[in-house]
A and B are shown apart, each in its own frame.
Chain A
Amino acid sequence: MRAEDIAGPGDATDAELARTIIEAPPGSAQAEEAELYQRFARRVRLFGLRHLRDDEAARDLAQQVMMLTIERLREGAVRDPNQIASFILGASRTMTRDLQRRERRREALRQNTWHAMPIVEPSIGNAIDLDRLERCMRHLSDRARAVLLLTFYAEKTTTEVGQALGLAEGHVRVIRHRALEQLRQCFISDKVAS
């Protein structure tokens, strides 16, 4: 029985989606493939952003990894559908290492021709409302703002942030944690207010 026959692919577990793709004639479980893509492409892209620090490369990585995953599922080469997340993470790691070793390969990855599927590209970063973030940043203390900007913009380590601000590392972490939480709360209340 296909996962979509039960309650639609959106309600299926990751393993159920993988199993359906394996069991269906190759290419016929498009809804499940699209759902699996939606779920995991975002995570692979996050992984890529974290390791490659390049949005375009991360997007390429997500597409390549998901293409490989779905091909392997169609071929029945993924033996345990319960381990689909692990398979995708493993593929992400391997491909990222390749990308890091050979930057040139990026161009080849971009030229990949994969059949069109009903895919909404995961958008990370573009989704944030900058005006709202700017307003919320103003509610933070100067030290909290400085910690966030030094960490996520200037890409300083906690030790370096501490040195720049005359703070102990532990204190920097506490400030960062609270500032992120404060931003999150501000975003929620600002959203409600507007």
Chain B
Amino acid sequence: MTRCVAPLDLDTLSGYWAGEISEQDSAGVEDHVFVCADCAERLEELAATAHGLRTLARQGRITGIIPYDLLNRLSRDGVRDRFYWLAPGESVPCAAWPEDEIFVVGLRVDLTAVKSVTLVVTGPNGIEIGRAMDVPVAPGSHEVLHATAGTIVQQIPSMRIQFTLTDAGPGHRLLGEYILQHSSTSG
């Protein structure tokens, strides 16, 4: 087998796979990959990961804070979502049904001068069930979207779930608290 003498770095391979490098650089990657079994294998691994990510997304198997562009793409791909909007201080009853592939909570918030946020999700008695640290937000946005795979939400028993959003910058200013009164539909 032909062995690699100058392996392509992961950044180059991912840039190539994402279609982000110039045609000339892409041609260079291809020239190398076609003579190098090791790099071909690494590129194949990357392609498999990319394929896996797309498959997980199309099945709604995403959990955490997501940007709008991702939500739009999920909608375009026909991923069935259950969506709840909450304003700061609001308490909303909710449920997830078997047909829901992804469960999304839209937290309305004033993000003026906020660069990143921390979101803490707590269950009964303040027990922490999720945390997203220092998540960047797009300038000028007015909401934070939090997604959970439908299969996970469908297993959650009836409970009160609180979302606490703070500015991840100095001072950790409280931006909002939101409550979901979750009702189990699993019987």
Contacts and interface: CB of A to CB of B under 8 A. Distances in A.
B52 A153 contact: no
Contacts of B43: 46
A141 B52 contact: no
Given A85-B34, A89-B34, A149-B53, A176 B64 contact: no
Given A146-B70, A150-B67, A158 B48 contact: no
What range describes how many residues of A lie at the interface? Answer: 35 or more
A5 interface: no
A11 B1 contact: yes
Contact of A125 (B19, B48, B115, B139): B48
B46 interface: yes
Q: Which of A92, A145, A148 has the largest number of chain B CB atoms within 10 A?
A: A145
A152 B63 contact: no
Contact of B10 (A86, A165, A177): A177
A138 to B, nearest CB: 6
Given A127-B48, A128-B52, A134-B56, A153 B73 contact: yes
B51 interface: yes
A184 interface: yes
B contact patch SS: helix
A40 B68 contact: no
Q: Which of A143, A146, A152, A156 has the largest number of chain B CB atoms within 10 A?
A: A152
Interface in A95-136: 124-128, 130, 133-134
Nearest to A140: B64
25 contacts: A11-B1, A13-B2, A46-B33, A46-B44, A46-B47, A49-B47, A50-B16, A50-B47, A86-B35, A93-B30, A124-B47, A125-B51, A126-B51, A128-B52, A130-B61, A137-B62, A143-B135, A151-B18, A153-B57, A157-B18, A157-B20, A173-B11, A177-B10, A177-B11, A180-B49
Given A143-B136, A152-B50, A166-B137, 19 more contacts: A43-B33, A49-B47, A85-B2, A92-B30, A92-B34, A127-B48, A130-B61, A133-B53, A141-B133, A142-B64, A146-B67, A150-B70, A153-B54, A154-B69, A155-B18, A156-B69, A164-B69, A165-B136, A177-B10
